[in-house]
Copies of this chain bind each other. A is one copy, B any other.
Amino acid sequence: MSIILTGGAGFIGSHLCARFTKGRERVLVLDNLSRGKEEYLFSQSDQNYLFFQKIDVANAPLVASVVKEFHQKYPVDIVWHMAANSDIQAGIKQPSVDLNDTFMTTFSILEAIRPLGIKKFTFASSDAIYGDHGPKLKLTEKTGPLLPISCYGAMKLASEALLSASAESFLDHVWIFRFPNVVGTPATHGVIFDFINKLRRTPDRLEVLGDGTQKKLYIHIDELLEAMDFIVSNSNEKMNIFNIGPDDSGCAVTQIAQAAVEIVSPSATIVYGTEPRGWVGDIPKFLYSVDKLSSLGWGSKSSSIEAVRKAIVEISGQGSEKV
């Protein structure tokens, strides 16, 4: 049985793609290459198992026809839906970005598979669906109310809602992964990427947005892949929703800045802003429960700061055209 992988040329998607094709699973990758790159796919994957289509996944009629044609040749068992906008601030400035790339992609791929009898679906959701519950409440999969403060979080929650309705009407199993920040290469954005870029431009000075007290959870891409694989193999409800992350309270921007300076440009001075929140849609601190995933039997080996340090080393070593 084959796999449909949306966003397969992006950061997380290209790692998934490599894993699938190495396991000799046939994969149809759909990606608009807005952030993803063809080279991410073709540098690492077994070409015999990789089928790539450059396409806007939000284009429902086109996606329906491409998916149908592929499914007729190579029957598809499961969709891995990773396509989304990944620039939260872009979506806050222009909500149509997340409407199209984060939500309409979900609507479109669901409409494409509905008539074909493809009944398994995995989805990359986010801790951004919870909103700001303050630094004391530990966010579990049952926490409510869900009050996302970014369009990105809102459109991830909208996608979850549509998947829930689809599970009632035509899907057999849905796996929803609520990711924290995911780090590693190939990086195209994010705080580590930004800090390394800034240090390349001004090796003596690192300017930090906000006062550096913002604290977030980080997981390395290698561990994220392990966790997703474990969840799909070991949970079998109609709706399987899991927070994924390390079992710690995250790492502060100050720690990331210090690690970046130490690894990339040890002589740099760090200059902080004064606001506890870096931008609209950013949540300064939160606690995240991974107890459900622990109970299922999986735990992260690295802490947030360990994941970050590993990623700084990797990203600072990645091809100069990307950093």
Q: Which residues of A contact B (CB under 8 A)?
A: 92, 95-96, 99, 103, 107, 110-111, 129, 131, 141-151, 153-155, 157-158, 161-162, 164-165, 167-169, 239, 241, 280-281
Contact = CB atoms under 8 A, between A and B. Distances in A.
A99 B161 CA distance: 12
Contact of A168 (B107, B146, B150): B150
A111 B94 CA distance: 9
A62 to B, nearest CB: 16
Nearest to A174: B147
A165 B150 contact: yes
Copies of this chain present in the complex amount to 2
A148 B164 contact: yes
A-side interface mostly: helix
B99 A131 contact: no
Closest 10 CB pairs of A and B: A144-B144, A158-B158, A154-B161, A149-B168, A154-B165, A157-B161, A147-B164, A154-B162, A142-B144, A151-B165
A185 B281 CA distance: 42
A10 B187 CA distance: 50
A156 to B, nearest CB: 8
A148 B169 contact: no
Contact of A148 (B107, B165, B281): B165
A161 B131 CA distance: 10
Contact of A161 (B148, B280, B281): B148
24 contacts: A92-B169, A95-B107, A95-B111, A129-B161, A141-B144, A141-B145, A142-B144, A143-B144, A144-B145, A146-B146, A146-B161, A146-B164, A147-B239, A148-B161, A148-B164, A149-B167, A149-B168, A151-B162, A153-B165, A157-B157, A157-B161, A158-B161, A168-B281, A169-B280
A68 to B, nearest CB: 17
A112 to B, nearest CB: 12
